Amino acid sequence: MATYAIGDIQGCFEPFQRLLKKVRFNPDKDKLWLAGDMVHRGPDSLSTLRFLYEHRSQITAVLGNHDLHLLALAHGAKRLTDKEYDLAQVLRAKDADKLLGWLQKQPLMVHKKVASKYFSMVHAGIPPIWSMSKALELAGEVHKALQDRSMAEAFFFGMYGNEPHKWNDHLIGVERLRSITNYFTRMRFCKEDGTLDLVTKQGPLAAHHDYKPWFSFKNRKTKDDRVIFGHWAALEGEANTRNVYALDTGCVWGGYLTAMRLEDENFFCADCTLQ
């Protein structure tokens, strides 16, 4: 049995299948960890979701910003644009309710033991000001809200926006949920005190005015924890930080889809030329 953590699929179903073939994924005994952004921008989000639902007993996944955007569309909090044809296919599918229901049940963070080692997985990162226990607690707040119909509606209608830029334990309501979600699903650069820059999307060399990659602060509270994440294609899979595993290698942009086998931390890649 093996466990493979995979970066942002983003609806690139064929490259995803090629990667599974490369690692000889056996759905009867192997498991997949997915670091979010399973849908959107690629050509076949519907087939991707159907595969994940079919193998849901073998899958551990976290929500990314694109997954949440699809759910917001389903709840009527946003309107489809002409470019979102892949998401339109999902929303109009006969099995949409089943697929989206499964997607909405996924958390923002997981923390599990695999082969005697604990791994945590999020989509974008964990800010330097949060301990592992704090991060799990806050992720749980959003997960709980997503399982409550009225709270979920309020969340999706208030999810979009960059404010507040800095975490405050006294935040309440949708503003609190938005802040938590921005850290887990959109963060790249921040300050040591957790202040976010949600605009800059380039690689680490774009650090500026005390804003650095979230994982680069030496006093980061999770520095001794193994953290798997995606989201940041500009890193090209190189966080260059102990215990930090960057798995978004830009499949949807013509790069690669990357998997890490958790048992031995070996990496596997599949070319993502879309067919």
Residue-wise pLDDT tens digits, 91-129: 999 999 999 999 999 999 999 999 999 999 999 999 999
What is the count of structural domains for the chain?
Answer: 1
- Cα–Cα distance list, 63 to 3, 21, 69 (Å): 19, 24, 10
pLDDT on residue 104:
98
Residue-wise pLDDT tens digits, 162-182: 999 999 999 999 999 999 999
Q: Which residue has the higher pLDDT, 148 or 272?
A: 148
Q: What is the pLDDT averaged over residues 121-143?
A: 98
Q: What is the pLDDT averaged over residues 14-40?
A: 97
pLDDT on residue 274:
54
Dist. CA 19–CA 255, nearest whole Å:
13
- What is the band of 150 on the pLDDT scale with cuts at 50, 70, 90? very high
Dist. CA 178–CA 183, nearest whole Å:
9
Whether residue 275 is predicted with pLDDT greater than 80 in this model: the reply is no
Nearest to 247 by CA among 235, 258, 263: 258
CATH number at residue 138: 3.60.21.10
- What is the band of 212 on the pLDDT scale with cuts at 50, 70, 90? very high
Nearest to 68 by CA among 133, 6, 20, 124: 124
Whether residue 64 is predicted with pLDDT greater than 90 in this model: the reply is yes
Dist. CA 110–CA 227, nearest whole Å:
10
With 0.75 as the threshold, say if the pTM is over it: yes
- What is the band of 268 on the pLDDT scale with cuts at 50, 70, 90? very high
Q: What is the pLDDT averaged over residues 83-93?
A: 96
Whether residue 34 is predicted with pLDDT greater than 70 in this model: the reply is yes
* DSSP code per residue over the chain: --EEEE---TT-HHHHHHHHHHTT--TTT-EEEE-S--SSSSS-HHHHHHHHHHTGGGEEE---HHHHHHHHHHTTSS---TT-HHHHHHHHSTTHHHHHHHHHT--SEEEEEETTEEEEEESS---TT--HHHHHHHHHHHHHHHTSHHHHHHHHHH------SS--TT--HHHHHHHHHHHHHT-SEE-TT--EE-S--S-GGG-BTTBEEGGG-TT-TTTTSEEEE---GGGTT---STTEEE----GGGTSEEEEEETTTTEEEEEE----
Whether residue 272 is predicted with pLDDT greater than 90 in this model: the reply is no
pLDDT on residue 236:
95
Average predicted confidence (pLDDT) for the chain: 96
Dist. CA 213–CA 235, nearest whole Å:
10
Radius of gyration of the CA atoms of the chain, in A = 17
Residue numbers of the domain that contains 265: 3-271
Nearest to 2 by CA among 20, 26, 18: 26
Q: What percent of the chain has pLDDT over 70?
A: 99
Q: What is the pLDDT averaged over residues 83-95?
A: 96
Q: What is the pLDDT averaged over residues 19-43?
A: 96
